Amino acid sequence: MHCGRFRRFGELGVGIKQLANRLSSRRIHGRLSSAHNSSLAHPKSLRPRVIFNSIRSVCCSRVVFAVDYSRDPDGPKLPDLQDFPPELIRNFCIVAHVDHGKSTLADRILEITGTIKPGSHDNQVLDRLEVERERGITVKAQTASLFYELDGKTYLLNLIDTPGHVDFNYEVARSLAACQGVVLLVDANQGVQAQTLATFYSAFEADKTIIPALNKIDLKHANPDAVAAQMKKALDIEPSEVLRISAKLGTGVPDLLRAIVHRIPPPVGNVNKPFRGLVFDSWFDKRRGVVTLVAVVDGQLKKEDKISFVSSDKVYEVKDIGLMRPDKVSAEKLYAGQVGYIMCGMKTTKEAQIGDTVSHKSSPVPPILPIRPAKQMVFAGVYPEDQSQNESLRGSLDKLMLNDSSVSVTMEQSAALGQGWRLGFLGLLHMEVFLQRLEYEHGATCIATIPSVPYRAKFKFEKQIKEFRTEVLTVVNPQSIPEASVVSEFSEPWVMGTILTPSEYMGEILAICMERRAQQKNATFLDNTRVLMQFHMPLSEVIVDFFDILKSKTSGYASFDYEDAGYRPCTLVKQFPVAIQATVGGKIIAREDLKQLRKDVVAQKIYSHGGRDKGRAQKLLNRQKEGKARMRMVETFRYHTTVLLKF
């Protein structure tokens, strides 16, 4: 039993760990967690809960216990997974816009199928990160396997709860690779939103079966008929196909489960073929190394098998396999069509690349899908508050990136902030969440610079091409932009932005977008009150405050989503002194340095009064000089990690 922190009880000096050992005669492997209790469906799993309720009554503080049953021989047992061939398996994920109720629906499904007991857990069971619970959003896809009885048959359902924000589209894309269908959830009050369209088209292009459902029909202002009409207009979904549910109350969720079984096709797999599986997620466990989630396409896998990954030549021995229920529960074997976890002693998630193919060492197979690494869209410098904390911050970054492989990192040096790192993120929210997790999970604080986007520079001359070993250089740090004299063309990333808004705000939105160099693509009215607008615009104009301004101008009613639209030529200006020289016969006879623009403190106040007062001008110049001297003074002060993001 791992009890990261324990308090003493009076003079006895008995900690939680020792007290738990006295209350229980059998060994329980687990960990303290603020997330939720483990599955309580098995009678023996009630015992740790009773133990810790006793401890809680003594401590007078709330303790939540999550059991890792992958190591507990007395924990919940799975039925023989051989009894679940592909025709009895349904793999699906829940996709939706932010705050449309995905995690709440996942809770009700887990309760109805008996995976968890009603009322025994906090809300949003699958949202395990502290930052997810604080912000009320999902930032990492989570998987749960459940057993569901229908028409005298028991089905194995594999559910994936996905994030709804545009920054985490990468999570949605890899989840779709492990599924045959999706539940497209739409808020019956808010209607179709920008991310609704994005997730729908992602599932449609991946040829997944789509089950549309209207959620929150219990709300006072819900208008399911109007929203169903919007879905017909925007997505070409017939209103008769749309289910109506309330994830909060459970209304209509049993009908949704029946639709999942009847509408979503089973996975296509053959248990007699050589084993091959698709890696679609991984994370680092402090005690057991990397945990890899795999969708088994063909064959079967058992403990002690020797496996290898297509992207590397390394061979591993399977230490443990099983299902997520939603915590890890060991199994003897995994079979074709099933989704489960594998632990084989990996030390870093880089060894388990998302999209990789795993097979038996003795039976190599071709890749199932090409590996598409995450594409970083936003870059920022991260520095320690004090250079003495450099090693500590580096260690915290390494640990956190074990659970977030979508972040890129390179070393960089700043004249003002010292040694640090240039980190690449999927978007601005991803950056904020990462820095928040760095503080919450590892107690590390840092200075984050203003985010920027990657630019490209195409060189003119062979010298620079040989020096940088490329004709087109991608620049993520503004300080590294090459001189314009050696570059034939600069280019910047553009995106295709989708805005859904009430029609009365069209004029203001057009003005906002045009100020940011946007080019309108089209505008479509979904009904009499809502319009869908699409723009091409530079990513640099989007990443910092565009969404905040959009929400402010539309009273919070507009939603925004964007996708990559490639690079376009641009003009970059790097400010530096320009030397102007006069030469005669190759000899320099005069020189003048033209400096960067600066404020002329005497022009407005002296020349504007007709004539120049030398005494007054000198007084203003002296005052400016004193101010510059104060700016150069060195002082130690503290400020919030994200202070530079506010400029």
* 218 marked as part of a ligand binding site: yes
Is position 322 annotated in a ligand binding site? no
Check whether 360 is labelled as a binding-site residue: no
Contact 437, 472 (CB under 8 A): no
Who's near 624: CB < 8 A, 6+ residues apart?
Answer: 601
CA–CA distance, 474 with 455 (Å, rounded to integer): 6
Q: Is 328 helix (H, G, I), strand (E, B) or coil?
A: strand
Q: Was 408 annotated as part of a binding site?
A: no
Intra-chain end-to-end CA distance of the chain, in Å: 47
For residues 366 and 387, give the distance between their C-alpha atoms in angstroms, rounded to a whole number: 48
Element (H, E) at 146: strand 142-150
Cα torsion through 592, 597, 602, 603, rounded to 10: 90
The DSSP call for residue 350 is G
Q: Is 36 annotated as a binding residue?
A: no
Instruction: Give the CA radius of gyration of the chain.
Output: 29
> In whole angstroms, how far apart are CA 195 and each of 95, 375, 425, 536, 558?
9, 19, 19, 17, 12
Q: Does the annotation place 262 within a ligand binding site?
A: no
- 103 labelled ligand-binding: yes
Q: How far apart are CA 466 and CA 476, in angstroms?
A: 20
Q: Is 161 annotated as a binding residue?
A: yes
Contacts of 640 (CB under 8 A, 6+ apart): none
> For residues 229 and 527, what is the distance between their CA atoms, to the nearest angstrom?
8
Q: Which two tokens stand for residue 223?
A: 């208008």
Residues of the chain by 3-state class (helix, strand, coil), percent to 5: 30, 30, 40
What is the 3-class SS of 494-508, one letter each residue? EEEEEEEEEHHHHHH
Please provide residue 432's backbone torsions phi and psi, each rounded to the nearest 5 degrees.
Answer: -65, -40
Determine whether the annotation assigns residue 640 to a binding site.
Answer: no
Ligand-binding annotation for 96, yes or no, is yes
Reduce the DSSP state of residue 493 to 3 states and report it: strand
Q: Give me 199's structure tokens.
A: 């997730």
Place of tokens 């972040």: 407
Cα separation of 218 and 96, whole Å? 18
Q: How far apart are CA 123 and CA 101, in angstroms?
A: 11
- 283 CB contacts (<8 Å, ≥6 apart)? 290, 291, 349, 402, 403
Residue 105 amino acid letter: L
Q: Can you read off the two tokens belonging to residue 275?
A: 């084993």
| Two tokens, residue 318 | 């399977």
Distances in Å between the alpha carbon of 322 and those of 89, 120, 343, 402?
16, 23, 9, 22
Residue with tokens 């760095």, as numbered in its chain? 438
Please tell me whether 447 is known to bind a ligand: no
Altogether, the residues listed in the chain come to a count of: 647
Distance (Å, rounded) from C-alpha 312 to C-alpha 314?
Answer: 6
Contact predicate 45/84, CB 8 Å: no
The answer to whether the annotation marks 100 as part of a ligand binding site is yes
162 labeled part of a ligand binding site: yes
Q: Which residues are annotated as a binding site?
A: 96-103, 161-165, 215-218
Binding site for GTP, residues? Answer: 96-103, 161-165, 215-218
